[in-house]
Amino acid sequence: MALAPFTGAQRLRELLKDPKHLVVLPGVFDGLTARLALAASFEGLYMTGAGTSISTLGWADLGIATLSDMRSNVEMIASLNPSVPVVADADTGYGGPIMVSRTVTQYARAGVAALHIEDQAQEKRCGHLLGKVIVDREIYYSRLRAAVNARNQLKSDMLIIARTDARQSYGFDEAVERLKAAVEIGVDVLFFEALASKEEARKVCQIFGDTPVLLNMVPGGVTPNMTAAEAQEVGFRIMILPGVCIGPIIKSVRGELEHLKQHGTVSEDNGSAGVKEAFNLAGLQECISLDQLAGGKAFDTVGK
Ligand SMILES: C[C@](O)(C(=O)O)[C@H](CC(=O)O)C(=O)O
């Protein structure tokens, strides 16, 4: 709640100045996962669209989440610690250039450090699934131009990331061409979705040299698994792991629910992170201090 000494966008730009540094961003999608990642002191967070769609709407990532669903979620996440950069999924930009412009403006006002816009059609899906429909180059470029123009007009520090999903339908060279045009348009970071091998990954990082390239590490996806050390050695500058929280949550909560159904009570593990720990994780002490500093007495005994 305190004023941030610098914005997330400024911090991300600082981190990207070191060409040898890899910024690792765990995928978060709600207050709890964001708090856990902040407590683990990552340099930044990635707000996954897939996770947001599943957790806030209860539906798969098929272009169902709207600009306002995504903006309200990222605004909440970015507000928890405004100095920590939040890179956010902005899918297709949610429409033509006018909508892309609105998306960029709303994300910038929400405190987002960087957003990515892709070249999938509105009926989009996870970049590692089959049957993706890709829009023509000109439609994609107009999305990116609208994004860069809106950001510049706002005089915002927010970075624009161009994501291409063209690899699957049109091949490696077409995806590279699209990203080359994206650099000309003025984007800051490149996101080559669903790289098919480590060799391809290395080639992309070499082709784009100074322009930072982002790696999307999806377990069980098309891209071979790489550790942070390997990704850094290949030449990536940012690594997002959209599934790092959602997978374990599904597994452990499902197990716990099955236990309750079978035994009529929670498992021994269930209380391992009690309610107090959960509240502490979610800023309990910070809120008590804030109240007391203002002369409030309401929470004096809350922790006793
Ligand atoms: C990066 C991504 O856009 C996301 O929503 O997090 C997804 C991740 C996923 O579906 O696992 C993607 O399209 O890769």
**What is residue 299's predicted lDDT score, i.e. its pLDDT?**
87
**What is residue 1's predicted lDDT score, i.e. its pLDDT?**
53
Does any ligand 1 atom lie closer than 6 A to the CB of residue 44? Answer: no
Residue 4 DSSP class: P
- For residue 55, what are its two tokens? 């957790």
- Residue intervals of the chain classified under CATH 3.20.20.60 are 8-245
DSSP 98-123: HHHHHHHHHHHHTT-SEEEE--B-SS
**Per-residue 3-state assignment (H helix, E strand, C coil) for 212-245:** CEEEECCCCCCCCCCCHHHHHHHCCCEEEECCCC
Helices (H), the chain: 8-15, 31-39, 49-52, 67-80, 97-109, 137-154, 167-170, 172-185, 198-208, 228-234, 246-263, 275-281, 284-293
Does any ligand 1 atom lie closer than 6 A to the CB of residue 242? Answer: yes
- For residue 93, what are its two tokens? 């930009």
First-residue to last-residue Cα distance in the chain: 24
Does any ligand 1 atom lie closer than 6 A to the CB of residue 243? Answer: yes
Which ligand 1 atom minimizes the distance to the CA of 50? 5
- For residue 9, what are its two tokens? 């966008």
Question: What ipTM did this prediction achieve?
Answer: 0.98
If you classify domain 8-245 with CATH, what class do you get? alpha beta
Q: From ligand 1's centre to the CA of 118, what distance in Å?
A: 11
Ranges in the chain, pLDDT < 70: 1-4, 271, 303-304
**What is residue 303's predicted lDDT score, i.e. its pLDDT?**
64
d(CA 25, CA 239): 6
Q: List pLDDT tens digits, range 32-41.
A: 999 999 999 9
Which ligand 1 atom minimizes the distance to the CA of 127? 13
Residue 55 DSSP class: I
Match 């290395």 to its residue by tokens: 202
Q: How far is CA 67 from CA 49, 55, 95, 132, in A?
A: 11, 16, 10, 21
d(CA 106, CA 67): 9
**What is residue 304's predicted lDDT score, i.e. its pLDDT?**
60
The amino acid present at 250, given as its one-letter code, is I
**What is residue 273's predicted lDDT score, i.e. its pLDDT?**
72
Judge residue 19's burial from the number of C-beta atoms within 10 Å of its C-beta, 0-12 exposed, 13-18 middle, 19 or more buried. Answer: exposed
